[in-house]
């Protein structure tokens, strides 16, 4: 679509917005729009205007993971008002728990016999994306610290950290879906989140499976190296620097070597080493989208 620029005054150029887009986004005189510069391009978005995206979903079965997938993905996709049809009280109970532990700022605002309304009530500003993502990264670091302690894992502690990570991840993906000030970086952020959160899940399952197991020195060394990999990712993200990437590549190779030594012995710790190897691989792969974000920020 092409538009002709119109001169307004001595230095200002103006362009009209497509009428259909204006109507679809319910814009009017005085509405706020976002204009973002991406290299040589400008991206205009309607973020900041007060209208709700609504959707209707129907729950089937009592599987917690399936119900969780339904509701978290509608949240991630940016819907503000979700009408949920349920068949049993058990489904409603699971839904309430998922909302409590997975969604930031969402609550059930209305409950009827066969459905309920879930909507944004006290949701943080979408401008807090960087702040929430930083919290997610620090919580993953906390979980790795807990893993290294290997003393007395308190279930409440590691479960609470994991819940925070999942809530922060869902919120960040919601911001990405809504396109709030991340135009041109969406795919990079989404991929970065996917990799570090999947790596985190391996650490979570390691703690869950080994909370009564004392680690061998070899396994503790492996955990320490995996944490060093993640610390480099954390440092690179927070400082927006690529200086640490070469060290990251060397560390990942070291983890592969040490993990294989444990795996080839074929004992119980082989399973734990496999989880750590998978986590290190995810964290290592996160350096690729992170590099893209850092380079894009330098434009």
* 94 is a domain residue: yes
Residue 288 belongs to a domain with what CATH number?
1.20.58.220
Say what percent of the chain tops pLDDT 90.
Answer: 62
In a domain, 152, yes or no: yes
For residue 51, the model assigns a pLDDT of: 63
Q: Is the alpha carbon torsion for 30, 32, 38, 43 positive or negative? A: negative
Instruction: State the alpha helices, DSSP H only, in the chain.
Output: 19-24, 64-76, 89-102, 129-149, 155-178, 186-210, 217-239, 245-265, 269-285, 287-297
Residue 47 pLDDT exceeds 80: no
Q: Is residue 1 part of a domain?
A: no
Per-residue pLDDT tens over the stretch 149-198: 865 556 678 899 999 999 999 999 998 888 755 666 889 999 999 999 99
Mean pLDDT calculated for residue range 71-100: 95
pLDDT tens-digit series, residues 52-69: 789 999 998 889 999 999
What percent of the chain is modeled with pLDDT above 70?
89
For residue 225, what are its two tokens?
Answer: 């190296």
Are residues 265 and 135 part of one domain?
Answer: yes
Report the alpha-carbon distance of residue 163 to residue 204 in Å, rounded.
Answer: 11
Could you tell me if 113 and 140 lie in one domain?
A: no
Q: Does any domain span residue 101? A: yes
User: Are 140 and 265 contained in the same domain?
Assistant: yes
Query: Mean pLDDT over residues 21-35, rounded?
Result: 75
Q: Average pLDDT of the chain? A: 88
Q: CATH no. for residue 18?
A: 2.10.260
The total number of structural domains that make up the chain: 3
Specify the pLDDT at position 40.
56
Q: How distant, in Å, are the alpha carbons of 43, 66, 94, 98, 175 from that of 63? A: 41, 5, 9, 12, 27
Q: Do residues 258 and 205 make contact, with C-beta atoms less than 8 angstroms apart?
A: no
Show the tokens assigned to 147.
Answer: 């893993």
Are 251 and 158 within one domain?
A: yes
Residues 112, 206: one domain? no
Domain of residue 22 covers 6-45
pLDDT at 39: 53
SS3 of 111, please? Answer: strand
In a domain, 289, yes or no: yes
Closest CA to 233 of 136, 128, 165: 136
Residue 244's φ and ψ, nearest 5 degrees, are -90, -5
Furthest-apart CA atoms within the chain: distance in Å: 78
Give residues with Cβ within 8 angstroms of 77, minimum separation 6: 174, 177
- pLDDT at 200 > cutoff 80: yes
Tell me the mean pLDDT in the region 201-214.
86
> pTM of this prediction?
0.83
Whether residue 155 is found in the same domain as residue 101: no
Q: Are residues 79 and 154 located together in one domain of the fold?
A: no
- Summarised one tens digit per residue, pLDDT across range 217-267 is 999 999 999 999 999 999 999 999 999 999 999 999 999 999 999 999 877
pLDDT at 26: 74
Same domain? 242 vs 293: yes
Residue 105's domain is classified under what CATH number? 3.30.110.60
């Amino acid at each position: 679509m092409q538009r002709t620029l119109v001169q307004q005054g001595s230095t200002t150029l103006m362009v009209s917005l497509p009428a259909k887009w204006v109507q679809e986004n319910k814009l009017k005189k005085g509405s706020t729009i976002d204009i973002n510069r991406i290299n040589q391009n400008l991206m205009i978005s309607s973020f900041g205007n007060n209208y709700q995206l609504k959707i209707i979903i129907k729950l089937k079965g009592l599987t917690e993971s399936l119900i969780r997938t339904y509701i978290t993905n509608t949240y991630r996709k940016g819907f503000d008002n979700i009408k949920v049809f349920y068949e049993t009280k058990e489904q409603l109970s699971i839904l309430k728990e998922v909302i409590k532990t997975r969604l930031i700022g969402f609550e059930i605002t209305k409950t009827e016999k066969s459905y309920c309304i879930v909507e944004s009530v006290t949701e943080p500003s979408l401008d807090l994306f960087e702040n929430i993502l930083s919290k997610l990264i620090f919580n993953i670091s906390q979980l790795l610290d807990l893993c290294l302690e290997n003393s007395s894992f308190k279930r409440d502690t590691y479960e609470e950290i994991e819940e925070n990570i999942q809530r922060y991840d869902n919120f960040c993906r919601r911001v990405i879906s809504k396109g709030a000030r991340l135009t041109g970086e969406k795919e990079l952020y989404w991929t970065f989140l996917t990799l570090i959160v999947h790596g985190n899940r391996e650490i979570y399952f390691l703690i869950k499976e080994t909370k009564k197991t004392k680690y061998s020195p070899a396994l503790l060394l492996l955990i320490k190296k995996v944490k060093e990999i993640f610390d480099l990712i954390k440092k690179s993200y927070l400082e927006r620097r690529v200086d640490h990437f070469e060290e990251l590549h060397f560390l990942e190779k070291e983890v592969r070597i040490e993990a294989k030594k444990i795996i080839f012995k074929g004992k119980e710790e082989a399973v734990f080493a496999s989880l750590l190897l998978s986590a290190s691989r995810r964290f290592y792969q996160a350096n690729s989208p992170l590099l893209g974000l850092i380079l894009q920020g330098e434009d």
